Amino acid sequence: MSTETEKQGKPQSLSLFLGCVAPNRYPGIELASRKVMKDLGVDLHELEGASCCPAPGVFKSFDKTTWLTMASRNVVLSEQMGMDLLTICNGCYGSLGEANLTLMHDPDYKAKVNEKLGEVGLEYKGNAKVRHIIEFLEKDVGPDTIKEKVTVPLDGIKVAVHYGCHLIRPSKEKEGLGSAENPRFFDVLVDATGAKSVDYEEKMMCCGAGGGARSAFLETTLKMTEKKLAILQKDEFDCIVDACPFCHLQFDSGQVQLNKEGKDYHIPVLHYSQLLGLAFGYTPQELGIQMNMTTNSAFEEKVLALQQKAKEA
């Protein structure tokens, strides 16, 4: 639906699916997403009464019909608004996207799910797409439009992009994102802010949190997380930029956890919407970046200096 409206030159309208971790743990990510999309002329409509996507790791591991039913209810809310649904989280994108594709292509599951939905007066039709803010910005808005809106080029900020897993894999479910082993579409969006995405060892590695592993085996998952953190600290990256509040939580709270065991990590963790917000002139405070558990005053000063310079120019 969205690409059609874009071609007609009308503002693009999408429903905003919040999920759990963004609104309930990192509200700065929700706020930043709302601000930057508005500045880019994208109309986001509230998906009133949406629930957990539901969490792919646990629900899909428990009962497939429950997972599909819960996910389809969220998609149906968007169908009823006549809009595609925008996620700001890889987990939500993976869960809702896969559920949506399954129901579109598997009449048996569709019938089963509609029987459940019927009990609360809903019906899944299969006419709304599930989008992710990163692939939407890359395909439907484009880095050039973003560049035009940048008022504070983030010169000299060295960014470690963390794609996360469910933004790109399983690749057979994702359309037109290029290589899953060595993708570029997210890096391009980071570079559009004036910051520089720099490649690093283990760039495509998982954060460690997914699949229910974080909730059951936190310490083990942090070993995976730390592999990446150690590389980024050694190579003096200014920040990690992610596309998923759950990866965000793992990197942000993970550093605090590791520091309790005698480590000394202090790498700022930003959702792409927050990085973009900085380039659009919002202060770190206005984007809730200081509400992270891992804070880093040197990064904040660097950004504020860039914003001051832009104001004077």
Partner 1 sequence: MTDPVSSSEIDKSFFNELTREKGMDKILLCFNCNGCSTGCPMKDIESKFDIKKYIRMAGLGMKDRILNDEYLWYCTTCYKCQERCPEGVLNVDTLLRMRTMAVHEGIMLEPHREVAHFVIDTGHAVPINDSNRKKRLELGLTEVPPTVHMYPEAYEQVRKLLKACEFDTLTQKE
Q: Which residues bind partner 1 (CB under 8 A)?
A: 18, 20-21, 23-25, 27-28, 30-31, 46-52, 54-66, 69-70, 73, 106, 116-117, 119-120, 122, 165-166, 169-171, 180-181, 205-206, 208-213, 215-217, 220-221, 223-224, 227, 288, 291
State in angstroms the smallest separation of the CB of 202 from partner 1: 9
State in angstroms the smallest separation of the CB of 145 from partner 1: 26
State in angstroms the smallest separation of the CB of 146 from partner 1: 23
Structure tokens at 5: 């409206």
The nearer residue to partner 1, 140 or 282, going by C-beta atoms, is 282
State in angstroms the smallest separation of the CB of 218 from partner 1: 9
The nearer residue to partner 1, 57 or 194, going by C-beta atoms, is 57
State in angstroms the smallest separation of the CB of 224 from partner 1: 6
Residue bearing tokens 């009133």? 48
DSSP code for 10? P
The nearer residue to partner 1, 11 or 27, going by C-beta atoms, is 27
The nearer residue to partner 1, 193 or 225, going by C-beta atoms, is 225
The nearer residue to partner 1, 54 or 268, going by C-beta atoms, is 54
Tell me the pairing of strands 12-17 and 42-46: parallel
Residue bearing tokens 């439907």? 140
State in angstroms the smallest separation of the CB of 99 from partner 1: 13
Is residue 221 within 8 Å of 247, Cβ to Cβ? no
Contacts of 195 (CB under 8 A, 6+ apart): 154, 155, 157, 158, 159, 238, 275, 279
The nearer residue to partner 1, 223 or 234, going by C-beta atoms, is 223
Burial 150-169 (b: 16+ CB within 10 A, else e): bebbbeebebbbbbbbbbbb
What is the DSSP code string of 61-120?
HH-HHHHHHHHHHHHHHHHHHT-EEEESSHHHHHHHHHHHHHHHH-HHHHHHHHHHHHTT
State in angstroms the smallest separation of the CB of 176 from partner 1: 17
The nearer residue to partner 1, 62 or 145, going by C-beta atoms, is 62
The nearer residue to partner 1, 92 or 306, going by C-beta atoms, is 92
One-letter identity of residue 66: T
Element (H, E) at 164: none
State in angstroms the smallest separation of the CB of 257 from partner 1: 15
What is the DSSP code string of 180-229?
SSS--HHHHHHHTTT-EE---TTTT---S-TTTHHHH-HHHHHHHHHHHH
Q: Which of 144, 160, 138, 165 is nearest to 239 (CA)?
A: 160
